[in-house]
Amino acid sequence: MANYQAPIDDIQFLLHDWLNISEHYQKYGYEDAADKDLINAIIEEGAKFAQDVLAPLNQSGDEQGCQIDGHEVTTPNGFKEAYQQYCDNGWPALTSEPEFGGQGLPYSLSTVIGEMVSSANMAWGMYPGLSQGVIEALAAHGSEEQKARFLPYLVSGQWTGTMCLTEPHCGSDLGILRTKAVPSDDNRYKISGTKIFISAGEHDLTENIVHLVLARLPDAPEGTRGISLFIVPKFNVDENGVTDQRNPVFCGSIEHKMGIKASATAVLNFDEAEGFLVGEPNKGLNYMFTMMNAARLGTAQQGQALSESSYQGALAYAKDRLQMRALSGAKAPDKAADPIIVHPDVRRMLLTQKAFAEGNRALAYYTAMLVDTELKATGERKEKALKELSFLTPICKAFMTETGHEATNLGMQVLGGHGYISEWGMEQYARDVRIAQIYEGTNGIQALDLLGRKVLMDKLHTLRRVQKKMKYFIKDATQDKALRGMAGDLKTLIRKWFMLTLSIARKAGKNREEVGAAAFDYLMYSGYIYVGFVWLQLAYTARRLDPESQLAKSKLATCEFYFARILPRVKTHAANIKSGADNLMEVAEELF
């Protein structure tokens, strides 16, 4: 059975040595969080909770799954007690505003905790996972009455929240959703319709669940311009927060899934359920994006988090499992065979896992810092942070989940036959992480968002700014002889990245299908280059601390592996992009 241990040393290296997190917090008004000892204490307590409380429930929760009786859902044994401890420890309130009972700490700190929770027990983490997004959406767009009525209970964790978008006939195309909202009295609405794939849509962990629901008013225009956002609680709530009667929103069933079986993915039926309009009519999709962007970053982190869990399990096994002798001669002559970590192909798999787990962790933490900046900065600095955050969000979501899926499959492969059976826990990581490529906008949609909106419609402005920052760092990296060659390779790739983007733009001017044909390869191309940039920074930072330290040697070795064996993948993605749209779009449907 896998035994997760939070990578505290690497987390602290990233926060303190690479990102200078205390200085960042001081700069943006998080003085209370700027103390290094406090940051470390939060990390260590989060690690204890993840390791000691959540990780032991991961495999049993997968085996037991959720149970539905009528409209009520029961979570696996131990989940409810773990959630109560989570609330008692104050974790749900970590980053929320103090006026609603929150601790007012930075978003980036919650990202660290979120990683450890997902690594230890991704399915359990789904229950509180969307509540923060609901809190952010209501704080940004809700009325003062709505904030007072709902936020204190969501912030404390006494209630959880969901995001209700998908319907049986429409997934990402929300313009054709059918859920109706009919005006009632006292500024209330009757919500009717069916929503599917609702994570944590029904469960027994809390006394109430607050659903944020997209629906149409009777006079709403067609398409996405006619979508409004409504609060629909499981139990109706009076002005004092008292839950008095059951709202007619019921769980019709829970999905039978490939993974995250301990997370209740619900079909919800709204039968004239009482709802409250958030903000203005027909602006619901804009409001929901507050929540969706947070959910996309959380999903990205799930890919990274399970890369780490799988890597830990594979590494421990590779050091212990005896199989054959090294090709260059016995490495453990006192044993019947050598541990499989001596074999080149096993090392290839382990180093790929390590490169993605640690490189994507760094990318996630840097992106979280941009969230801090966007929330607290003003003027041009805020605008720049928002632009870069918008650019990196689809890369994080798609690249980190694609590589997370690859890493967990490699973890299974390291264990061979043992990786395929459940008792070792490795196949669960592969099953659980697979959903992350699909939900919160499939990776193909993330790719269209990146190339179409964040690059081409932006006229390459943000791309230029990102590349300028990368080139600025390369000047420093070339001063280190050990990094000079890789820095030069990265500089060349940055130029090719820009020229490739221009070529897509020119082709798209003649044929718009070129954008869709290039999008996925373009996102992966961009992701590999950006994570290469991250790895160069990590090696540079560690070597500046002490080039002879174990940390510096590890970072340099992994950086060299990434540049030699992973970064060259961009050549294939570039070739796919250059091949154009015709080999996709000119194939007649009857030939499929």
Residue with tokens 């601390």: 545
Those residues whose C-beta lies under 8 Å from the C-beta of residue 68, and which sit 6 or more positions away, are: 74, 202, 251, 253, 254, 264
Active site residues: 440
How would you classify the pairing of strands 67-69 and 180-183?
Answer: unpaired
Q: Report helix, strand and coil shares of the chain as percent, to nearest 5.
A: 65, 10, 25
Distance from the first to the final alpha carbon of the chain: 43
CA distance linking residue 487 with residue 171, whole number of Å = 42
Q: What is the DSSP letter of 546?
A: -
Structure tokens of 224?
Answer: 């996405």
Structure tokens of 267?
Answer: 């079909």
Task: Quote the crossing angle between the two packed helices 513-545 and 344-376, to the nearest 10°.
Answer: 100
Nearest-5° Cα angle at 589, 587 to 590: 110
CA distance linking residue 404 with residue 311, whole number of Å = 10
Q: What is the DSSP letter of 65?
A: -
Residue with tokens 């390791």: 51
Those residues whose C-beta lies under 8 Å from the C-beta of residue 531, and which sit 6 or more positions away, are: 356, 359, 360, 363, 399, 562
Q: Are 533 and 392 in contact (CB under 8 A)?
A: no
| Ramachandran quadrant class, 243 (left: phi over 0; alpha: psi -120 to 50; beta: rest) | beta
Q: Are 194 and 168 in contact (CB under 8 A)?
A: yes
Nearest-5° Cα angle at 428, 426 to 430: 80
Structure tokens of 331?
Answer: 């490495």
How would you classify the pairing of strands 243-246 and 235-237?
Answer: antiparallel
Those residues whose C-beta lies under 8 Å from the C-beta of residue 356, and which sit 6 or more positions away, are: 304, 307, 403, 404, 406, 407, 531
CA distance linking residue 523 with residue 424, whole number of Å = 34
Q: Are 212 and 229 in contact (CB under 8 A)?
A: yes
